[in-house]
Chains A and B, each alone.
Chain A
Amino acid sequence: MSGVPQALDGINVVEFGGYAAGPHIGKVLGNFGAKVVHVESRDRPDGFRLQYPPFAGNRPGLNRGGCFSMFNDSKYGVTIDLKKPEGLELARRLISWADLVVENMRPGVMERLGLGYGALSANNHGLVMLSTCNMGQTGPRADTPGFGSQLSALAGFCGMTGFPNGPPMLLYGPYIDYIASTLGASAVLAALIRSRRTGKGAYLDLSQYEAGLMFMGGALQDYFATGRLAERCGNDDPEAAPHGAFPCRDNEWVALSCWSDADFAALAVVMGNPKLAAEKDFATAAARRTHKQPLDEIISAWTRCKTADAAAEALQAASVAAYPVVSMAGLFSDPQLAARRQWRVRRHSEMGDQAYSFPGFDLAEAPGDIVGPAPCLGGDNEFVFRDLLGLAEAEFETYKERGVFG
């Protein structure tokens, strides 16, 4: 880390919950200098710690999960047993230290624990709290538990992904959860700005379903305006032709698109077949769409002889939009991502070295960073409660003896 103060220095965050949609918000804030405390208990650790692979060295363990660590770097990890009255008291003390609480429990759970916004903000008027869940805090199905992987189907994404005559397609992981967390991060930052300016806090109710629909805005607007139901169309585009992924050497693929006849002429030249652009079957976008199959075959015959990088480089040299279809392995060797320092290796006490992902933005004057690796379960109890919260040694020991850090 540089010596420059980070943008969110001085902002204190406490998180309750787990998995993706809550913790990703805290991760980003932590990357830009907020102090973020992730609260779990030994009885109910974050579900991402154990429920899904990968694990470092393929050996499962509470502190070995890559799924957890991806969304919890740059935070402190504490354990509090919220079933004990002293645990709740400690949680309240921790929240009184915080500017922001993020929770993604089922609706009503925080209220039942006495940790609802009304109770928490009574003596802390500037507190910002965000609750995020599948359906939102209200409405006839508010209590629906659910996985983001399936919510992506309800929100229209799966139905619009895939080929016209085939089935809908799964998206990897809880895709929609990350839309909610990304939008949620903006909402909490806006609320923190207001809180600092006016002293007035805010309670934010974020439905992952609704947040996801913001990324479906075009299809929804089209439906409202014309009644047209958007359908899956593979990689086709209403304007560009060709527009798709083409097979390359070594089981790689390259994505490319032509947005004008001039683009297509440039593609034809790169493929060593300049006359192609003048042929009546391919001279216009409409003709190229009609003759998609033979055109795809011509392009594929050229791409198959090249690596994806070589094909993309040749096309970009002629100003044709193209990029290799980057695989999970390829993300770690892509030269553009490397130049941005997308992956930053930090050493974890049990997992060893892991590459953590940096957000899609950075600040020139106050750059963010991966401040530290993901915490072990309860690994920062002493630091958070003694140093950040200022508990006296005797108090800390009493909590410990009573199993409050359980």
Chain B
Amino acid sequence: MLLTDVLVIDATDRFGWLAGRILADLGAEVVKIDAPDTDRSRPEWRAFNVNKRVLEADPSRPANASAFGELLAKADICLVTPGLGESGGAFDPDVLRKAYPRLVVVAITPFGRTGPRKDWRATDLEVMAAGGAMSMAGEPDGAPVRISEPQSYSWAGAHAAMGALTALVRRDATGRGDLVEVSAQSSVIIALSHAPAFFDLNGDKPTRAGAFMTGRSIKGARYRVFWPCRDGWLNFIFYGGVAGRRTNEQLVAWMRERGAELGPLAKIDWARFDPTNADQAEVDALEAPMMKFFAGITKREYLIEAHKREMLGYPVSTMADIVTDPQIEARGFFQKVAGSNPDETYCGSFALIDGKRPPLRYEAGTPLGDEQPKPRRAGGQP
């Protein structure tokens, strides 16, 4: 494991759960502080708090102060969100920084700890709006939508883990802890890719793309991106260039082998095909036989055949498709925890380290119990 001997106290709510999970997956010992009334049966709780142990204790009760103090004195990193990390409480970031000079304190909040809107109330929806991500999802002429299951919590948690480890590198070198401040709003911005640069460089205003690809044809044609298939949807895009050429040629070859009607696709020289020059009538004519062909195949057929033929494009997976994907199975991504509830399966650690996926150590909700985390190693002193 990479973070052997690193002890993390995780006093976070939903905004921080993934941070502790990432650090645990990388080998840290993570103790999650949970209020006594916490519902630990919810799927989100279990997904993002597996591989941690839980200390159930009310942080507002002075009687718990010594238990927290004992843990914090040994800890390397403490993750806090506003709930447990409220001002003046046991996990107030400023208090922690003063009391434990070697501790890396990571304060995760929706908007950061300074600025005119730092105290604004927000959940995933408002953070995805504030970070620009909602404006880029949905139909161009319809309402902005948020992306899939709550994402801003994960963006914040993932940035918190990066921040915690950045500060831990420095702590190992200098002996000084630090206060890492994480803004969920700011953490979402990387998800926008290069979209902000359009405005910054040229004053252009990119907007959401919906289910079609627009802006590629100089004649204003829109290209279909999602295609109904026999058991759901496929994601296939007409690309130009080398990658597009291979994909388009192989699609036509596949259709031909299946005896599918080709229409205008039969005559196209893909080496010369340029999606930027087509008008809508031409695009519609090209897409009609493909619509018919895709309607007859399954998502899995597409996945297998596209791989065999080195074509771009993927099925639009459901959770059931993902858990039965042979690629995921071959790499052992989904894992159970050895010696615990045999029915519960989780996303495993996210990276293979020296060719192995580190096993999950603790089932979600495993109590800290009497066996206290190891004292901190002597190494890393300045």
Closest to B134 in A: A325
User: Taking A7-B170, A186-B165 as contacts, is the C-beta distance between A54 and B148 under 8 angstroms?
Assistant: no
The verdict on A141 contacting chain B, using a C-beta distance below 8 Å, is yes
With A and B bound together, what is the CA distance between A184 and B256 in angstroms? 42
B353 within 8 Å of A (CB atoms): yes
Set of chain B residues within 8 Å of A365, measured between Cβ atoms = 176, 178-179
Stretch at the interface among B63-71, B116-124, B278-286: B116-124
CB-based contact B346/A327 at 8 Å? no
Instruction: State whether the Cβ of A339 lies closer than 8 Å to any Cβ in chain B.
Output: yes
Are A218 and B193 in contact, CB atoms less than 8 angstroms apart?
Answer: no
Chain B: how many interface residues by the 8 Å CB criterion?
A: 144
Task: Determine, out of B264-272, B316-324, B365-373, the stretch whose residues face the partner at the interface.
Answer: B316-324
Q: Which residue from chain A places its CB closest to the CB of B193 in the assembled complex?
A: A173
Q: How many angstroms between the C-alpha atoms of A290 and B118 in the bound complex?
A: 34
Whether A272 sits at the interface, judged by CB under 8 Å, is no
- Interface majority SS on B: helix, strand, loop or mixed? mixed
Q: Say how far A44's CB is from chain B's closest CB, in angstroms.
A: 13
Q: Mark B309-320, 1 if CB is under 8 A from A, else 0.
A: 010111111111
Scan residues 175-211 of chain A and give those whose CB is less than 8 A from a CB of chain B.
175, 178-179, 181-187, 189-194, 196-197, 202-207, 209-211
Known A162-B145, A361-B182; further 20 A-B contacts with Cβ < 8 A: A7-B166, A32-B166, A57-B202, A154-B303, A162-B211, A178-B193, A187-B353, A190-B3, A194-B2, A221-B43, A221-B346, A224-B346, A225-B43, A321-B121, A322-B121, A328-B192, A329-B199, A340-B112, A351-B201, A360-B159
Segment among A74-82, A254-262, A279-287 that sits at the interface with chain B = A254-262
Is A340's CB under 8 angstroms from B189's CB?
no
Chain B residues near A184 (CB-CB < 8 A)? 351
Which one of A144, A158, A255 contacts B126 once the chains associate, using CB atoms below 8 Å?
A255
CA distance A368 to B167 in the complex (A): 11
Task: Given the known inter-chain contacts A162-B138, A175-B191, please indicate yes or no for A220 contacting B319, CB distance below 8 A.
Answer: yes
Contact B123 A240 (CB under 8 A): yes
Whether a CB of chain A sits under 8 angstroms from the CB of B382 is no
Q: Does A342 contact B (CB under 8 A)?
A: yes
Q: Indicate whether A146 reaches chain B with its CB closer than 8 angstroms.
A: yes
Contact A366 B170 (CB under 8 A): yes
Which residue of A162, A169, A319, A336 contacts B116 across the interface (Cβ within 8 Å)? A336
Of all A-B residue pairs in the complex, the 10 with the closest CB atoms, nearest first, are: A173-B193, A360-B187, A339-B115, A66-B197, A361-B163, A217-B47, A255-B129, A189-B165, A160-B148, A153-B235
Q: Closest chain B residue to A59 by CB distance?
A: B202
Partner of B192, one of A173, A203, A207, A338: A173
Chain A 320-361 interface 0/1 with B at a Cβ cutoff of 8 Å (1 = within): 111111111111101111111011000000010011011111
Say yes or no for A394: interface residue by CB 8 A criterion.
Answer: no
Which of A56, A69, A154, A182 sits near B162, CB closer than 8 Å?
Answer: A182
Which residues, 72 to 114 on B, are CB-close (under 8 Å) to A? 97, 106, 111-112, 114
Contacts of A339 in B (CB 8 A): 112, 114-116
Q: Which residues of B line the A interface, CB within 8 A? A: 2-4, 6, 18, 21-23, 26-27, 43-44, 46-48, 97, 106, 111-112, 114-118, 120-123, 125-132, 134-139, 143-151, 154-156, 158-163, 165-170, 172-173, 176, 178-202, 204-211, 213, 225-226, 232-233, 235, 237, 243, 303, 307, 310, 312-323, 326-328, 330-331, 333-334, 344-347, 350-355, 379-380
Q: Are A360 and B186 in contact (CB under 8 A)?
A: yes
Q: Is A163 located at the chain interface by the 8 A CB criterion?
A: yes
* Contact A235 to B158, CB < 8 A, known contacts A144-B307, A170-B213: no
User: Quick check: is A3 within 8 A (CB to CB) of the other chain?
Assistant: no
Q: How far apart are B176's CB and chain A's nearest CB, in angstroms?
A: 6
Report the separation of the CA atoms of residues A193 and B172 in the bound assembly, to the nearest whole angstrom. Answer: 8
Q: How far is the CA of A306 from the CA of B327 in the complex (A)?
A: 50
Q: How far is the CA of A157 from the CA of B199 in the complex (A)?
A: 26
Out of B46, B131, B191, which one reaches A178, CB within 8 Å? Answer: B191
Contact of B226 among A136, A167, A336 (CB under 8 A): A167
Q: What count of chain A residues pass the 8 Å CB interface test?
A: 152
Contacts of B188 in A (CB 8 A): 360
Q: Are B322 and A155 closer than 8 Å at their CB atoms?
A: yes
Q: Which residues of B contact A69 (CB under 8 A)?
A: 197
Residues A166 and B211 in contact, CB atoms below 8 Å apart: yes
Judged by a CB distance under 8 angstroms, whether A384 is at the interface is no
- What are 24 pairs between A and B in contact, CB < 8 Å? A28-B162, A54-B201, A138-B352, A153-B314, A154-B235, A156-B317, A157-B148, A159-B318, A173-B193, A187-B2, A189-B165, A190-B23, A193-B168, A220-B323, A221-B346, A229-B319, A235-B143, A321-B126, A331-B189, A339-B114, A340-B114, A342-B186, A365-B179, A366-B178
Provide the residues of chain A in CB contact with B168, threshold 8 Å: 189, 193
Knowing A361-B187, A363-B178, say if A328 contacts B195 (CB, 8 Å).
yes
A108 to chain B, nearest CB (A): 15
A37: B residues at CB distance < 8 A:
none
